[in-house]
Every structure is written in C-alpha cells, then in structure tokens.
Amino acid sequence: MGELAAEKHVKYIVSVEKKKDSFEAVVMEHLRLNGAYWGVTTLDLLGKLHAVDVNEVVSWILSCQHESGGFGGNIGHDPHVLFTLSAVQVLALFDKLDVLDVEKVSNYVAGLQNEDGSFSGDEWGEVDTRFSYIAICCLSLLRRLEKVNVENAVKYIVSCKNLDGGFGSTPGGESHAGQIFCCVGALAITGSLHHVDRDLLGWWLCERQVKSGGLNGRPEKLPDVCYSWWVLSSLTMIDRVHWINKEKLVKYILDCQDTENGGISDRPDDAVDVYHTYFGVAGLSLLEYPGLKAIDPAYALPVDVVNRIFLRR
C-alpha cells in the first residue's frame, strides 16, 4: 500500500487557488466559496493551514456577503444557505468568526425555515434535507440554534426516513449516502440520534463498500472517493464504522492519488479535483490515518476547531 502524498496535496491545493484562469477555476467560479472550504479544511487536516494568506481569504469571504446576511458562492453572486455555511466554516478554521455580524447571518439562515420544519436553500424555495443539515450546522456553529424551531426541524427530517433505514431528500425520496449524512448529522447536532435505527442504517451503509474497497452512494453504483466521507461519517456517528473493511478503504483512497502532481480523484487514474481531495483526506482522518488531524463527523471540521467554538465559554 502506498502512502499519503501530503506535501504534493498541499502544493496542489495552493496552486489551484492561484490559477484563477484555469478550466477548473472557471467551471467552479459560481461555487468558489465551497472550493475554499474544501481546500482550506484539507490544509488544516494536513497541518498546513499557514500555507494560505488568512487576511486575504477572510477579506474575500466578507466580499461575498449579501446585504441579506447570507453569502454567495463568489463576489456578486446570489446568497444561498450552502455558501453561508462554507463561509462560517472557513472563518471558524481561522478563528475569525468575530468578523461576522452573527445576528445578521443567523437571522438570514433562520428565515429560511418553513412551517413544516424544513428549510429552503434560498429565497426561491427549493426544499431538501441537505438544507436542513446546513442550516442546523451553521446556526450551531454560530451558537444561535435557538432561532429556529428545532423540534419541527427534527420532525421533518424523521419524515424523510425510509424503510431501509436511510433518508431521502424529501419525504418518500430514495435513500442516498449524501442525504443520510445530512440527516444523521443534523440529528446528531440536535441530540436526536434516537430516531435512527442504527443497525438497519448501519447495514445499508456498510453494503456500500464494493470489492475494490471503495464506497458508493447507492446500490449498483460505482465507488467514489467522496463517499469515503458521506458513508464513513454517518457510520461513525451511529457507532457502526467497524462494520466495513477499513484497510481496503484506505488503500482505495490512496490509489486515487496523483502522486506526481498532488490531488485525489473519484476513482483511480481519473482527473483530480479539490472536492475529492478534501473528502479523501477527510475520510482518511476518520480512519485515523497517521499524521492527520482528527475531524468531527457531524460538523465536518477538525475536532480542535469544534472544541474551540463550544468549549470557549
């Protein structure tokens, strides 16, 4: 088995940030704030957060904020709860949450809750359990969870639970590993994991491991490095991570590395990107790979960052 090419991955992430005219930068222009979260969190897990200019990143993030209090994916883009969470997460990594008008940001997020407890992603009203997780995670990091009806939020998430133990994007939606992470993460943050059938869901999640050692998101799909996070974090939160073959998963993730130029891809020998680099490294962190900081499975931030927020007072 190979080793994690940590230094190469650091160089890759820093280089992506600097190549603003590259194809990758152009196609990610509308979600650059997400890219910043993926890249900066990876650097922190690798112990190299100092590789970026903190003041420059913080200044750019604040320039992505809309008058509503929410953040867009880039300067001049419409606000959305997804980008707002990424902004909060990156500022938390830098210990710079104090630059925010917390009331304004939390009011924007809380204002997206609907009467049935669900959350819309933005003013246009799309509803998805992803947004439930994002809103709950964001408000919790800002210590403003009391601004929403948590009981109704939990009821809505539970209404999206399926007979196989998994969760969908809306009531009756197909179980999917990404949605399961969102629902289990939101339930974990709100202290509501008793709503999860741990054995039934654990069985569905551990069946996502295929012969190569990688994980897929749904039955009969190809494995993808990103599910090293979505599946593994969910298994960790319900204490069933020992139901998969950890060694084979580690090998699969390492096999997806570009050991020459850095970065991690979805599958071996595919093109690398920041998204899969982050989720590959985050998965290895959950697997307790040597040399990586520990990551919190619910907040998707290094444990020391989460502790700094909640143990400060």
Burial 83-121 (b: 16+ CB within 10 A, else e): bbbbbbbbbbbbebbeebebeebbebbbbbbeeebbbbb
Tokens encoding 12: 């890759």
Question: Residue 143: what residue type?
Answer: R
pTM (whole model) above 0.75: yes
Question: What separation in angstroms does the CA of 16 have from each of 10, 173, 258?
Answer: 10, 36, 14
Tokens encoding 54: 């903190």
* pLDDT, mean over the chain: 95
Rounded-to-integer distance, Cα 153 and Cα 185, Å? 13
Find all residues with CB under 8 Å of 38, minimum gap 6, and list them.
274, 275, 277, 278, 279
CA 11, 12, 16, 19 torsion-angle sign: positive
Find all residues with CB under 8 Å of 107, minimum gap 6, and list them.
69, 147
302: which strand partners? Answer: 295
Residue 162 is predicted with a pLDDT of: 98
* Model pLDDT for residues 1-56, shown as the tens digit of each residue: 579 999 999 999 999 877 666 656 656 677 789 999 999 999 999 999 999 999 99
Q: Kindly report the number of other CB atoms within 10 A of residue 155's CB atom.
A: 15
* Model pLDDT for residues 80-130, shown as the tens digit of each residue: 999 999 999 999 999 999 999 999 999 999 999 999 999 999 999 999 999
Percent of residues, the chain, with pLDDT higher than 70? 96
Question: Residue 41: what residue type?
Answer: T
